[in-house]
């Protein structure tokens, strides 16, 4: 940190340390590697630190050390989409559906589904072949229709404008919604979340509340954010 101060650095823009999707998705157009959410753009819980980013004490040390030297910390925050569905999260939080049943599940995916590896003739995208993305009941247990739009299950389809499009097939958050949403449905199986139901809150309200808490708790000065054309923002907030 002293070295950065000597260089004249006055701000550090870091990957958002919020909890990301667990496990991996297929990487690259050919699915030739497992892709993890190292970049901080596949958030699934804005109230938790991702274990791969360190502890709350680590973050507080970073922020305090920076502030003592006149350096601000910026989080590279994404608010217009969540992350993809992974085998790890489907198993842990009990959402989605498979084409496999009974003994086929363990035989094909293993004890821990995220340990699956492509066999001969498969790629890292091939895990999708085992997932029934049309099962309405199973996918209603994921984020819920009040939170996202996506071409999965019975969710509302993404649109074609900046506000409602699905960027890279990622679930698009309904930041424009004026309907109280409750918490994401799968949070009921996520015992470590700090999220609490707040009467009348929409997805945008929850995001604003959760992100503001990081400012209150750690004294962060500012957030780097998704381009405002991809969000429904309150008047004067752009």
Query: pLDDT tens across 124-154, in order?
Result: 999 999 999 999 999 999 999 999 999 999 9
Q: What distance in Å separates the CA atoms of residue 166 and residue 220, rounded to the nearest whole number?
A: 30
The string of pLDDT tens digits covering residues 74-96 is 999 999 999 999 999 999 999 99
Three-class SS of residue 223? strand
* Of the candidates 136, 113, 234, the residue with the CA atom closest to the CA atom of residue 185: 136
Hey, how many other C-beta atoms are within 10 angstroms of the C-beta on 194? 10
Q: What is the pTM of this model?
A: 0.92
Q: Please give the structure tokens belonging to residue 156.
A: 């509302």
Q: What distance in Å separates the CA atoms of residue 151 and residue 169, rounded to the nearest whole number?
A: 8
Q: For residue 236, what pLDDT is reported?
A: 46
Q: Which residues of the chain have pLDDT under 70?
A: 221-222, 224-238
Q: For residue 238, what pLDDT is reported?
A: 46
Q: What distance in Å separates the CA atoms of residue 4 and residue 41, rounded to the nearest whole number?
A: 26
97-106: long-range pairs with CB below 8 Å, 24+: 97/131, 97/132, 97/135, 97/137, 97/138, 97/139, 98/130, 98/131, 98/132, 99/129, 99/130, 99/131, 99/132, 100/130
List phi, psi (to 5°) of 76: -85, 85
Three-class SS of residue 12? strand
Output the CA torsion sign for 128, 148, 44, 105. Answer: negative
């Amino acid at each position: 940190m002293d070295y950065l101060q000597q260089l004249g650095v006055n701000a550090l823009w870091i990957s958002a340390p919020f909890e990301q999707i667990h496990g991996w998705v297929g990487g690259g157009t050919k699915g030739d590697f497992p892709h993890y959410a190292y970049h901080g753009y596949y958030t699934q819980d804005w109230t938790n630190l991702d274990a791969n980013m360190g502890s709350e004490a680590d973050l507080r040390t970073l922020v305090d050390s920076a502030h003592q030297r006149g350096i601000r910390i910026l989080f590279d925050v994404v608010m217009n989409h969540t992350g993809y569905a992974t085998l790890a999260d489907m198993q842990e939080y009990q959402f989605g559906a498979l084409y496999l049943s009974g003994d086929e599940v363990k035989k094909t995916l293993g004890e821990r589904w995220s340990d699956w590896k492509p066999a001969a003739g498969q790629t890292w995208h091939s895990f999708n072949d085992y997932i029934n993305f049309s099962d309405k009941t199973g996918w209603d247990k994921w984020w819920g229709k009040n939170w996202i739009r996506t071409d999965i299950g019975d969710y509302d389809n993404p649109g074609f404008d900046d506000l409602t499009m699905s960027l890279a097939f990622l679930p698009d958050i309904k930041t424009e919604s004026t309907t109280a949403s409750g918490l994401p449905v799968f949070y009921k199986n996520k015992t470590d979340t700090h999220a609490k139901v707040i009467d009348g809150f929409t997805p945008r309200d929850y995001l604003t509340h959760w992100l503001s808490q990081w400012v209150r708790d750690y004294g962060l000065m500012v957030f780097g954010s998704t381009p405002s054309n991809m969000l429904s923002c309150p008047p004067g907030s752009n």
